[in-house]
Every structure is written in C-alpha cells, then in structure tokens.
Amino acid sequence: MTRLLIVGPQGSGKGTQGVRIAETFGIPVVSTGDVFRANVSQGTELGEQVKSIIDAGQLVPDELTSAVVRDRLSKQDAAEGFLLDGYPRNLAQVMHLDEFLEGRDESLDAVIVLAVPREESIARLKKRASEQGRADDTDEVIAARLSIYETETSPILGVYGTRGIVDEVDGVGSLDDITNRIIAALEARGLTRPAAA
Ligand code: AMP
C-alpha cells in the first residue's frame, strides 16, 4: 500500500514523473487537472462548470475539487494505494483530504516535491504551449498559475513537512535520472515496489 502525493510548480514535470512513479509502484494516478480536462473535452456538466476557471489559470472551488477526488479515491483501484497529482493545492484541500483519509484509517506515506527553478518551469511551459496548444499555457495564464503555486500551494509543504513525509527531489536533469531520484527517496522511506510480474 503506497499513498503518494507529487507536488511541483506547473512545468516541473510532475505529470510525467507521476505517471512513471505510479507505474513503478503499481498504483493509479489521480490527477485533478486530467479529470477536469477530460470533463471539459467531453462537455459534461462538471466540464461546463470548470472550463472558464481552468482557462484563466484559477483554482476550481475547493468543495467541488475535493468531491471529485473523494469520488475517484473511492473506486476499487485506489483501495491499495494511489498517487495524487495536483491535489491538494491549498490548505483547505489538505484539510478535506485529511478528513477523508482519516475516515478510512489511512494517511499519505510520502509527498514528493519536484524542485525546479522558476525560469526553467516557464521555459518548459512555453515549449509545451507550442507543442500541445493548451489554452492555459499562455504567458499571462502561466504567470497566474505560478503565482498561485507560490502563494497557495507552497504552504501545504509546511504542513506535510511537520509530519516528516516530504521528500524534495531535484527536478532538473534527464527524465530517467529524476525518476530514479524519486524512487531512491521513496525506497529510503521503506516503501517497496511490487515484485516484477
Ligand atoms: P494541472 O494540470 O494540475 O495544472 O491543472 C490544470 C487546472 O485544473 C488548474 O490550473 C486548475 O484550474 C484546475 N485544478 C487542478 N487541480 C486543482 C485543485 N486541486 N484545485 C483547484 N483547481 C485545480
């Protein structure tokens, strides 16, 4: 059972590394950004509710976001562990998640923080914008998202830090090197990968 959270500024590579780490530990990725984007592209009611918020780089209301996460974590495949990507993103969401996990007698095992300098994040986001054309990857929205990260998301690391579960990993280097650094940090905590099939 491995319950992880990956945190990093937009453009830190947390999405890519999250998928790799989840595969390594045999757990599903729960990415709120992916869930919201899928709902927007499918034109669901949730998608309609969140589209303009996401396009502006603002945060979707906490209650709505936490309800989406509770729903997802209640699915069978998350019973044995999960990797959260992009949630919680502020202190209110940390409280919501705590409440939910406590109700299941669970807690997070580790919080991986991908450390990437701001200029590097911005350069990566601009590259992604030109490759994928995401509506929220414009200069203005990138700046808004990075400042929300600094003011609202960074403080959650203080809370998790006092619980002794934060592993800060250098997010600059080759994809494989970064993945290996994260795996090493998690294994140093005694978290084990499932035996290869
Ligand atoms: P991401 O792919 O994680 O950068 O998420 C894309 C967008 O989805 C964000 O800029 C927010 O508008 C929204 N979003 C994702 N996760 C959350 C969250 N935990 N709380 C509020 N909004 C979120």
Write the residue with the smallest CA distance to atom 1 of ligand 1: 33
Give 128 or 86, the one with higher predicted confidence: 86
pLDDT tens-digit readout, 90-145: 999 999 999 999 999 999 999 999 999 988 988 888 888 888 877 777 888 888 88
DSSP 152: I
Distance 173 CA to ligand 1 centre (A): 25
Query: Tell me, what's the pLDDT at 29?
Result: 98
Asked if the model's pLDDT at residue 197 lies above 70, the reply is no
Interaxial angle between packed helices 139-148 and 118-132, expressed in degrees from 0 to 180 and rounded to the nearest 10: 140
Q: Which domains does the chain have, with CATH numbers?
A: 2-188 (3.40.50.300)
DSSP 13: S
Query: Tell me, what's the pLDDT at 126?
Result: 84
Strand order in the sheet with 166-170: 29-31, 81-85, 2-7, 110-115, 166-170
What's the whole-number average pLDDT of the chain? 94
Least confident of 31-35, 139-143, 154-158: 139-143
pTM score of the predicted model? 0.93
**At a CB cut-off of 8 Å and minimum separation 6, what does 50 contact?**
36, 39, 40, 60, 64
Most confident stretch, 53-57, 132-136, 140-144, 158-162: 158-162
Query: Tell me, what's the pLDDT at 122?
Result: 87
Distance 140 CA to ligand 1 centre (A): 16
Active site residue ranges: 14, 89, 128, 134, 145
What residue ranges line ligand 1, CB within 6 angstroms?
10, 32-33, 36, 53-54, 57-60, 65, 86-87, 89, 93, 136, 145
Write the residue with the smallest CA distance to atom 19 of ligand 1: 87
Distance 162 CA to ligand 1 centre (A): 25
DSSP 149: I
Give the 3-state secondary structure percentages of the chain, helix then strand then coil, rounded to 5.
60, 15, 25
Query: Tell me, what's the pLDDT at 53?
Result: 95
Please compute the mean of the pLDDT values over residues 159-175 and round it to a whole number.
97
Write the residue with the smallest CA distance to atom 6 of ligand 1: 33
